[in-house]
Amino acid sequence: MTSDSITTGAAVAERTPTSSSPRIADLVTVAATRLPQAPALIVTADRITITYQQLLGLVDDLAGQLTRAGLMPGDRVGLRTASTAEFVVGLLAASRADLVAVPLDPALPISDQRARSEAVGARVVLTDSVGAGDSAEPSVHWWPIAVSVDSDGGTPSVSLDAGAGLKAEVTAPEGLHPDDAMIMFTGGTTGLPKMVPWTHGNLATSVRAIIAGYRLGPQDATVAVMPLYHGHGLVAALLSSLASGGTVLLPARGRFSAHTFWDDIEAVGATWYTAVPTIHQILLERAGTESSGGKKAALRFIRSCSAPLTPETAQALQDEFSAPALCAFGMTESTHQVCSTGLDHDDNPAETTGLVGRSTGPEIRIAGPDGAPLPAGEVGEVWLRGATVVRGYLGDPKITAANFTDGWLRTGDLGTLSPAGDLSIRGRIKELINRGGEKISPERVEGILATHPNVMEAAVFGVAHRIYGEAVAAALVPRGAAPGPEELTEFCRERLAPYEIPDSFEITAELPHTPKGSLDRRAVAQQFGGQ
């Protein structure tokens, strides 16, 4: 693979898959064939069961509706819903119909969702609701979907409102291949989200590796803590569970709630869950006050990913919930999981800072500045290649060339490999802020702040946070009267996702710059963030 391989085979005129890898809908079908009456999903506040047989019925029904509405194999379809039955059925139906699914963060401003939909050339966006602001974006064709379930045990159904019609003229992003199953968005230091293509092979390999590594099967159940539009919740929690015949409880209203978490855990008989350290910390703080108590849950293990887990938090999880805490490392560009500490290994994240275990598939290299591999124990950049590592980014060969070298993904993370092959993450090269697993581009937030009429210049940086690991902070040079924090927060709320909004603002007469005139981010962090 070369760095410009992403640019080959531009638009997809006909959908002619060349891979023998199963689609994600096929992986779930195999489990459903073995266990048709087993519970696949637990949904709504009433915790109603959808069996595998019922789930397949919903998927086939919606896939047929999508096809009859005019969607063709290879069409890109946005998916903007919370972590609900609508997301699961919509995703699997798109797979069944040979469409390319594009999950969208429903918390993003509608304008951002429109921009992403246009970037992938989506003909339609499936949504669980159409907000009042959607009509202001007529270029997006919203198709509401709804899954109806009966607490009395009736057959669930799915409806599609395709009244908005299809977007007639769309352009596939440069580099899209016939075997691409999904397009995921991931943050970039430029502030523009990068489009990451996941092939059927990428997904099948990743899902099977997670199942094998954690020995998941029909005896297992989990609660979907992480949002399903991210690889963490999508691949690790949802798809790996369904492909192994397990059960997934989708929290009421489609999002994590610390108030109902342990009731959900007990209701589904969860044997494991996966989350970011922020959520683990929240659960630990509430453990002593919860009436049900996490200790009643027979958890086999607790998985942590998407942000560094401190040894102290890992030990507290193990002590409080009587289950091993396993640390994993993953990236969107590696179809989520790269490596994990194991159920049977001696590696213990409670003993070693940054330990994320051994590879679950990809080849890992610790590279020096010249790209040459470094000896065990030396700190260098983490490089990856293998069956789950994507070929590059869609529509941007320059960014692909900057991040891929001869088939290797240069992650921007610093790490070491032990002689036994255990990876430890030591930091990162790139400037992204990691707020509880959400990767935030400082440049994007700075660009928004700079549009405020009373802001001359802005610098955004991460500061240590006890719960989130990092919080977003901003230092501003005012133009005229300095705006107050409430005004700035409200200004950002209309233009940024909630997690992107700075938690604090500091007014300053000037910001530090490098000799070349660019913002000196290290000096900014030291001066205003105490780093």
Q: What is the DSSP string of 32-86?
A: HHH-TTSEEEEETTTTEEEEHHHHHHHHHHHHHHHHHTT--TT-EEEEE--SSHH
Amino acid at 159: S
- The counts of H helices and E strands in the chain are 14, 26
Res 4: pLDDT: 31
- Hunting for tokens 């032990």 — which residue is that? 418
Q: How far apart are CA 210 and CA 199, in angstroms?
A: 17
φ, ψ at 47 (rounded to 5°): 55, 60
Res 154: pLDDT: 87
Q: How far apart are CA 248 and CA 252, in angstroms?
A: 13
Res 506: pLDDT: 95
Stretches where the chain sits below pLDDT 70 are: 1-19, 130-138, 188-192, 288-297, 345, 430, 514-518, 530-531
CB hemisphere CA count around 218 (13 angstroms): 14
Per the document, the length of the chain is 531
Res 12: pLDDT: 34
Res 165: pLDDT: 85
Q: Which pTM was predicted?
A: 0.84
Res 33: pLDDT: 96
Res 257: pLDDT: 93
Res 1: pLDDT: 34
* Domain architecture of the chain: domains with CATH: 5-417 (3.40.50.12780), 433-529 (3.30.300.30)
Q: How far apart are CA 368 and CA 382, in angstroms?
A: 9
Res 517: pLDDT: 61
Res 440: pLDDT: 87
